[in-house]
């Protein structure tokens, strides 16, 4: 609907109380119909919008609108919690990045080592209802934080962050995974980067 979802560490937008998330129109004016009530209780690091207009938020919060949601939640288009999305115990550490696949499943990445009580080192895939997708198997995962995720047109997943290995293989701060979460050795980046990768984006030509 051309509205702008804004999220972060703020508690006000243009003098209106908004706990870490707000909606604005194209002119930047707060949309008061987007009712966040108490909102999130801590920082929201990333957002994504589903094709049906629902909003996925993730970060380091443990509740939203007084409903327990550990670091990830889905909101209805009016800002209320979507109770059909149930992450159970959620992530045990911060989520820094997320991306929605064309089939609706959600890639999350960050500093967590488990999701819903299942071991997942810093990257996992969720089903559309918020449960963990057990078909996505990243092995031992990343040895340090993942800060950014992007999905290629063929479904392969690019990740960047502070890690130096993925599933036991040296990959300095950037790597590519297959659609099942396995390390993709065909993506060769030499010695990689000498410090953290915070962001990545795919061009239309795939670069």
Indicate the DSSP class of residue 161: E
Residue 56 vs residues 21, 50, 51, 73: alpha-carbon distances, Å: 12, 7, 11, 6
Residue-wise burial string across 15-29, b where 16 or more C-beta atoms lie within 10 A, e elsewhere: eeebbbbbbbeeeee
Contact 126/106 with Cβ under 8 angstroms? yes
- Cα–Cα distance for residue pair 163/194, rounded to 1 Å: 11
**pLDDT of res. 93:** 98
pLDDT tens readout for residues 5-23 = 999 999 999 999 999 999 9
pLDDT confidence of residue 13? 94
Asked if the model's pLDDT at residue 25 lies above 90, the reply is: yes
Q: What's the pTM value of the predicted model, to 2 decimals?
A: 0.96
What pLDDT, on a 0 to 100 scale, did the predictor assign at position 26? Answer: 93
Query: What mean pLDDT is reported for the chain?
Result: 96
What is the rounded CA–CA span in Å between residue 119 and residue 89?
12
Specify whether the CB–CB gap between 105 and 126 falls below 8 A. Answer: yes
pLDDT of the residue at 107: 98
Q: Give the whole-angstrom CA distance, residue 65 versus residue 74.
A: 12
41-61 residue pLDDT tens: 999 999 999 999 999 999 999
Alpha helices in 39-127 (DSSP H): none
pLDDT digits (tens, 9 = 90+) for 187-198: 988 999 999 999
Q: What percent of the chain has pLDDT over 70?
A: 100
**Residues 177, 150: Cα–Cα separation, whole Å:** 11
pLDDT digits (tens, 9 = 90+) for 88-111: 999 999 999 999 999 999 999 999
User: Quick one: average pLDDT of 141-162?
Assistant: 98
192 closest CA partner among 173, 167, 168: 173
Q: What is the pLDDT of residue 189?
A: 87
Q: Where are the beta strands (DSSP E) in 8-156?
A: 12-13, 16-17, 21-24, 44-49, 55-59, 63-64, 67-68, 72-75, 95-100, 106-110, 114-115, 118-119, 123-126, 146-151
Name the 3-class secondary structure at 170.
strand
């Amino acid at each position: 609907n051309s509205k702008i979802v804004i999220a972060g560490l703020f508690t006000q937008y243009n003098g209106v109380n908004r706990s870490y998330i707000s909606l604005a129109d194209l002119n930047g004016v707060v949309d008061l119909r987007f009712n966040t009530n108490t909102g999130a209780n801590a920082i929201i690091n990333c957002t994504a919008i589903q094709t049906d207009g629902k909003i996925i938020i993730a970060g380091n919060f443990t509740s939203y609108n007084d409903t327990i949601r550990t670091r990830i939640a889905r909101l209805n288009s009016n800002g209320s919690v979507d109770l059909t999305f149930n992450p159970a115990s959620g992530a045990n550490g911060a989520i820094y990045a997320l991306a929605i696949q064309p089939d609706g499943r959600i890639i999350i990445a960050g500093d967590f080592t488990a999701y819903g009580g299942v071991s997942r080192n810093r990257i996992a895939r969720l089903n559309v209802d918020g449960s963990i997708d057990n078909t996505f198997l990243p092995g031992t995962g990343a040895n340090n934080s993942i800060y950014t995720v992007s999905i290629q047109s063929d479904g392969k997943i690019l990740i960047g962050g502070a890690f130096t290995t993925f599933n036991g293989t040296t990959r300095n701060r950037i790597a590519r995974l297959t659609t099942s979460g396995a390390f993709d050795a065909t993506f060769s980046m030499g010695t990689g980067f000498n410090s953290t990768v915070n962001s990545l984006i795919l061009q239309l030509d795939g670069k």
